[in-house]
Amino acid sequence: MAIEVGTKLEGKVTGITHFGAFVDLSGGVTGLVHISEIADNYVKDVNDHLKIGDMVTVKVINVDKDGKIGLSIKQAVDKPVESSRPPRAPRNDRPSGGRDGDRPGGGFNRDRGGRSFPNKSFPSKTSFEDKMSRFLKDSEERISSLKKNTEGKRGGRGAKRM
C-alpha cells in the first residue's frame, strides 16, 4: 500500500524521543510524529501524552524523497466546525465621552498629543480672530510647559540654569 499525503492511518507507537514519537504503520513502514504535532496545546514531554505500544490515529503530512514520513496526531482528529463570531456593535451605539463634542458651535476635541482640532459634526460659528487667539493661547501654553519640562534636564550636575 502506497502512503500518500493526507491519508489517515492507524499505527502503533514503537519509540519515543525528546523530539517526537516513531509510529509503525502497516507493512513495517515507520513514520515520525514531531512533538509539535502531538497535541493542540504545548507539549513539554512526549511521555506525558504517549506510551510505547499505544495505538494512535495519524495523518500523513509529508513524505520525503528519501523515505521519511511525517505524521500528525492533532491533524488526524476531526474538529467541530467553529461558528464565526457575532458581529461587533457599530461605533455610534457605544457610549460617548460627553466632552467638547456635545457643545454646539464647533466644539474642540483633544488628541493624544493635547492638540485641539475642530469637531466636524458641528458647523463653526466662531470668527477667525477668535480661532487665532485660541491658537496663540494654546501654543504659548504648550511652549511654556515644554520649557518648564526641559529646563531641569539641561546641564550636567543637576543644577538648574537661571
Model confidence, pTM: 0.48
Condensed to tens digits (0 to 9), the pLDDT of residues 66-111 reads 989 999 999 988 776 666 666 666 666 555 555 544 545 555 555 5
By C-alpha distance, which of 79, 83, 63 is closest to 71? 63
> How many Å apart are CA 34 and CA 31, to the nearest integer?
10
> What is the pLDDT at residue 52?
94
Task: Determine which helix (DSSP H) or strand (DSSP E) holds 145, and give its type and residue range.
Answer: helix 128-151
SS3 6: coil
Condensed to tens digits (0 to 9), the pLDDT of residues 103-157 reads 455 555 555 566 655 555 555 577 888 999 999 999 999 998 888 888 766 665 5
> What is the pLDDT at residue 48?
92
Condensed to tens digits (0 to 9), the pLDDT of residues 11-55 reads 999 999 999 999 999 878 999 999 999 999 999 999 999 999 999
Cβ partners under 8 Å of residue 5, min gap 6: 60, 61, 62, 63
Domains and CATH numbers, the chain: 8-72 (2.40.50.140), 99-151 (no CATH)
> What is the pLDDT at residue 162?
54
